[in-house]
A and B are shown apart, each in its own frame.
Chain A
Amino acid sequence: MKTDNVIYMLHCMTPVHVGAGQGVGAIDMPMIREKVTQWPYIPGSSIKGVHRDYFRNNAGLSSDAYVNIAFGKESSGSDTDGGAAGALVMSDARILVFPVASGHGTFAYVTCPLVLKRLHRDLKATHMDMPGIHNILDKVNLLQKTALVHEDSKLLFQAEGTNSGSSTDTLSLDEFKFEAEKNPEFTEWASSLAKQIFPEDDTISQTMLTERIVLVSDEAFQYFVTMCSEIVPRIRMDTNTKTVGQGALWNEEYLPAEAILYGIIWCDTSLSGKSSLKNQDENLLSKLPDQAFLQIGGNATVGKGRVRCNYIQRGAAK
């Protein structure tokens, strides 16, 4: 089987709200989460929709024929034209690192072993590999109160250790303190990850990631992604009284700025084969740019949902 595929990395520049309808708890408008893990994600349908829009609005990038074949085509209603499914398959965007406010270094990019295991499995499915993941997964047995950091970490401060008089590297995430360990395997992996998430020339972003990335236990990660999302109260003012209208206060939940997600795009060659495309269009995936700036989810007119999407063509991951 031909396996053409691309990994995409989404970097949220502003908060993103892909909603899950009306909530019943304190949050009126929750964001969508995976049923089992309760981790936030962005459904493939959202990803595919904004990509279709992106290609349609950037006429120089592709033809109508490309958009129809890559993203599918509606039936025109006649018997002979039944429409077609798109040849590009876009997976859900899964969480890779979640930003949490930090006492030192402003904020941290938080991830956990379960995230790495899933990433590893997904990368394998695309015949890519990320060196170093093995080393971390094999060796790491994280305790609740410990965390792994990069050797250049900016999150650390000295706090009194368990032995009197000694001091240990400590980091504070949200309201919790962790004992930090500078780990060589984690350092190696985080450095290579930084190069894949951000473009080559954006070295400051790469450094920001390595200085702020931290691996915590699955349980701690679970707490952060469920309790530390961005909750924004919204109101509607009464036009005449300039006070909040009756019943017009609601809370919306957002994936915070700086969250990073990843997903896979592959090409179903059986569908792209019977195409009427010109030669240069034939490899559908090669039309993807190096980087795209997209708007995903709700509240576009108040600046939400701006993401940068980086595409890693097969073989580029090293």
Chain B
Amino acid sequence: MNVYLALSKGFGLESGRSDSPNLLNIIQSSQDTGSAKTRFYQDVIRQSKEKWASPLYQKGYKLRYDQMKEALVGSLSSNRIITLEMENVSPMVVGHGGVSVLETSLMLHRTYGVPYIPGSTLKGLTAQYCRRLLGVDNPLFQEGQPYYTALFGSTSNAGYIEFHDAWITPDSLASSLLLDVLTPHHQKYNSIRPDNKQNYADFAPRDDDDPVPIPFLAVRGQFRIMLTCPDHALPEDHAEQWLSIAQEILMHALEKEGVGGKTNAGYGIMRLKKGEG
């Protein structure tokens, strides 16, 4: 079972039933792709749960999960690394807009097939929160200003802080996938473009058009976030301070704004599970 492979190529779903939904017949079915997709996702969720719940199956991933931290801890002094675990309060959709035959996509590890939050996502979120909120009170945190550049770098300098991919904890892996649904109402009305000279007579949002539910996969789990500051040119105590600033901004951004897509609808909010608060 590799959920990434299942969602992108549709294999690894040997359920034994010939009528089991697969990508091909979702695309080919002319009507009611929604319910075909729902059954497909349910199949993926069920099998993923079955597999990852087994400690034996988890063993390899758990080993890599631990080794990644050991390797970082082993190569840096304790002032230069921060580890914390954050958990989803609301469902999370990272990589929702990716290219997929299923309309919606999800960020999954290409080798292990598990959900994760890319370091670039965390760094982008932190940088955005930093300049938009901290930057208002303290101009030094605005883009191009010294504090911002120290944390995130510029085109001529690397930033001090490394944002590692946040791996999902092995314990929360089995139950991490959720079936969710988005239902656009008034599709015709919403497709109106002002520049398009069409006759929009029957495009009014009258509430008698059919809503079309689109099922998609969301994630709910615990993630291990690691920040490091390996730059030897920077003294230990400075490294520690920059790290704690980065951590604070990141945690606020995760708690208040959320990570990934659809944050305006409340998706992607996280809270601290374990670590230095």
Interface of A toward B, CB cutoff 8 Å: 13-15, 57, 99, 101-104, 106-107, 157, 172, 174-175, 204-205, 208, 230, 232-234, 236-237, 239, 242, 256-258, 293, 295, 299-304, 306, 308
Name A107's contact: one of B14, B112, B158 (CB within 8 Å).
Answer: B112
Point out residues on B near A: beta carbons under 8 Å.
1-2, 4-5, 9, 11-12, 14, 59-61, 63-64, 67-68, 71-72, 74-75, 98-99, 109-113, 118-120, 122-124, 128, 131-132, 143, 152-153, 158-159, 161-165, 226, 230, 232
Q: Which residues on the A side are within 8 Å of B158 (C-beta)?
A: 300-301
| Residue with the greatest number of chain B CB neighbours at <10 A, chosen from A107, A174, A234, A304 | A107
Determine the chain B residues whose CB is within 8 A of the CB of A236 once the complex forms.
Answer: 124
Evaluate contact between B120 and A101: CB separation under 8 angstroms: no
B128 touches A239 (CB 8 A): yes
Residue of B11, B122, B226 touching A172 (CB-CB under 8 A): B11
Q: Are A205 and B63 in contact, with the CB atoms below 8 A?
A: yes
A175 to B11, CA, bound (A): 7
- Which residues of the partner chain B approach A101 to less than 8 Å between Cβ atoms? 2, 4-5, 9, 110-111, 113
Tell whether, in the assembled complex, residue B60 and residue A175 are in contact, meaning their CB atoms are under 8 Å apart: no
The residues of B that contact A256 with a CB separation of less than 8 Å are: 110-111
Identify B59's interface contact among A103, A204, A232, CB under 8 A: A204
- Give how many A-B residue pairs fall within 8 Å (CB-CB): 112
- Min distance, Cβ B45 to any Cβ of chain A, angstroms: 16
Contact A301 B163 (CB under 8 A): yes
Which residues of B lie under 8 Å from residue A102 when comparing CB positions?
Answer: 2, 5, 12
Residue of B nearest to A53 (CB): B232
Q: Are A302 and B118 in contact (CB under 8 A)?
A: yes
Return B43 CB to nearest CB of chain A, in Å: 14
Q: Is the CB of B68 within 8 A of A306?
A: yes
Q: How far is the CB of A255 from chain B (nearest CB, A)?
A: 11
Asked if A293 and B112 make an inter-chain contact with CB atoms under 8 angstroms apart, the answer reads: no
Selected from A13, A232, A234, A237, the residue in CB contact (under 8 A) with B71 is A13
Residues of A within 8 A of B112 (CB): 106-107, 257
Q: Which 4 A-B pairs have the closest CB atoms?
A: A103-B12, A303-B119, A303-B164, A302-B119
**Given A106-B1, A303-B163; A237-B128 close (CB under 8 Å):** yes
Q: Is the CB of A301 within 8 A of B123?
A: yes
Interface of A is mostly: mixed
**Which residues in B have their C-beta under 8 angstroms from that of A104?**
1, 12
Chain B contact surface mostly: mixed
Interface contacts beyond A204-B59, A303-B119: sample of 20 additional A-B pairs, CB < 8 Å, sorted by A: A57-B232, A102-B12, A103-B11, A104-B1, A106-B2, A106-B112, A107-B113, A175-B9, A204-B63, A205-B63, A208-B60, A237-B128, A257-B110, A295-B230, A301-B119, A301-B158, A303-B164, A304-B119, A306-B68, A308-B67
Are A301 and B162 in touch, CB under 8 angstroms?
yes
Chain B residue at minimum C-beta to C-beta distance from A157: B14
What is the minimal beta-carbon distance from A236 to any residue of chain B, in angstroms? 8
Q: Return chain B residues, CB-CB under 8 Å to A99.
A: 111
Which residue of the partner chain, among B2, B98, B132, contacts A103 with CB atoms under 8 Å? B2
Asked whether, in the complex, the Cβ of A14 is within 8 Å of the Cβ of B12, the reply is: no
| Chain B residues with CB under 8 A of A300 | 158, 162
Task: Tell me, in angstroms, the Cα distance from A99 to B71 when the chains sit together.
Answer: 21
Chain A residues closer than 8 Å to B99, beta-carbon distance = 233
Closest residue of chain A to B73 (Cβ to Cβ) is A293
- With a CB–CB cut-off of 8 A, which chain A residues contact B1? 103-104, 106
B153:A301 contact, CB within 8 angstroms: yes
| Residues of chain A with a CB closer than 8 A to B74's CB | 293
A108 to chain B, nearest CB (A): 10
A sample of 26 inter-chain contacts (CB < 8 A) reads: A13-B64, A14-B165, A99-B111, A101-B5, A101-B113, A103-B2, A107-B2, A107-B112, A107-B113, A204-B59, A204-B60, A204-B63, A205-B63, A230-B110, A232-B118, A239-B131, A257-B112, A293-B74, A293-B75, A300-B158, A301-B153, A302-B122, A302-B162, A303-B118, A303-B162, A304-B119
- A119 to B98 alpha-carbon distance, docked (Å): 38
Q: How far is the CA of A308 from the CA of B63 in the complex (A)?
A: 14
Question: In the bound complex, what is the Cα–Cα distance between A252 and B123 (angstroms)?
Answer: 17
Query: Roughly how many angstroms separate A257 CA and B164 CA in the complex, as a whole number?
Result: 14
A295-B64 Cα distance, complex, nearest whole Å: 17
Which single residue of chain A is at the shortest CB-CB distance from B161? A301
Residues in A with CB closer than 8 Å to B72 are 293, 306
Chain B residues with CB under 8 Å of A234's CB are 120
Cα separation A138 to B112 with both chains bound (whole Å): 34
CB pair B118 A308 closer than 8 Å: no
